[in-house]
Amino acid sequence: MDPGARLDFDRRRRLGMVEAVWGEHKSPGQIAAIIQQLGQADELALVTRVDRAKAQAVAELLGLSLESGQPMGLGHHPEARCLTMGTWPTADPSLGRVTVLAGGSSDLAVAAEALVALQCHGVACDLLLDVGVAGLHRLLDQLEDLRRARVLIACAGMEGALPTVLAGLLPQPVIAVPVSVGYGVSAGGMAALHGMLASCAPGLTVVNIDNGYGAAMAALRILGGAGQPSTKE
């Protein structure tokens, strides 16, 4: 066991959320030890920012086979760069649906992280790609379907205009995620972040650069799923 890992086993009861583990700067051994602790507590493990090579190393340490994209067992979700262990809950229809949008496929990793985080909490969700403002007609064609979602998460790099357009057209909560994609002055997502923070669309919520997980948890709070913690001991 990793003596430095003090996990928040009370988070589900307190907040209605499973504890997410940042995996990028942890070794396979540290991640494996954390997954073992979560398993012993009968908790779902969600580890973010894990590439395939590290996921495979974790699987070998745990003596488990690694499945790609599976919502049960030890699963690696390559588009989302996430590693999960356990079985995802069935989607709760009472929470409604979240639609995650991305300006282009370059934003997919961040959008996919949001999707996996939502699915780990029993939230029905779907993904809509290639609706950036460079081809605005592609977004306008989807507006009627988007009205049926309770929350929208919009991931965009470059100048980050997509969330502002959405928040100006649709009434439900829009959570903006700046993505570290773009040339030159895009500055690793800073241009998108500043544009979203300075948006003239009232009520737009903005999370940190590339923070798909944070956007998913903001959506969970809005839906009320985080207000009904599990009674699981």
- Is residue 39 very low, low, confident or very high in pLDDT (cuts 50, 70, 90)? confident
Helices (H), 96-156: 108-119, 136-140, 143-146
Phi, psi (degrees; rounded to nearest 5) at 232: -60, 135
For range 193-222, the mean pLDDT: 95
Summarize pLDDT for 46-78 with one digit per residue, the tens: 999 999 999 999 999 999 988 887 777 899 999
pLDDT above 90 coverage of the chain, percent: 66
What's the mean pLDDT when you consider all of the chain? 89
Q: How far apart are alpha carbons 90 and 84 in whole angstroms?
A: 15
Phi, psi (degrees; rounded to nearest 5) at 79: -65, -35
| Fold for the domain defined by 93-223 | Rossmann fold (3.40.50)
**Residue 138: exposed, middle, or buried by beta-carbon count in 10 A (0-12, 13-18, 19+)?**
middle
Q: How far apart are alpha carbons 59 and 57 in whole angstroms?
A: 5
What does 117-130 look like in DSSP terms, one character per residue?
HHHTTT-EEEEE-S
Residues listed for the chain:
233
The dihedral of CA 48, 49, 54, 55: what is its sign? positive
- Is residue 122 very low, low, confident or very high in pLDDT (cuts 50, 70, 90)? very high
Q: Quick one: pLDDT at residue 224?
A: 87
Cβ(23)–Cβ(30) under 8 Å? no
Q: Quick one: pLDDT at residue 228?
A: 54
| Residue 164: other Cβ atoms inside 10 A | 22
DSSP 104: S
What are the residue boundaries of the structural domains of the chain, listed by start? 11-88, 93-223
What does 61-72 look like in DSSP terms, one character per residue?
HHT-PPEES-SS
Per-residue b or e along 118-133, where b marks 16 or more CB atoms closer than 10 Å to that residue's CB = bbbbbbbbebbbebbb
Q: Which residue has the tokens 């430095």?
A: 4
Predicted TM-score (pTM) of this structure: 0.89
Q: Which helix (H) or strand (E) holds 40?
A: helix 28-40
Q: How far apart are alpha carbons 120 and 174 in whole angstroms?
A: 21
Cβ(100)–Cβ(85) under 8 Å? no
Cβ(152)–Cβ(174) under 8 Å? yes
- Is residue 227 very low, low, confident or very high in pLDDT (cuts 50, 70, 90)? low
pLDDT at residue 1 is higher than 60: no
Q: Quick one: pLDDT at residue 230?
A: 47
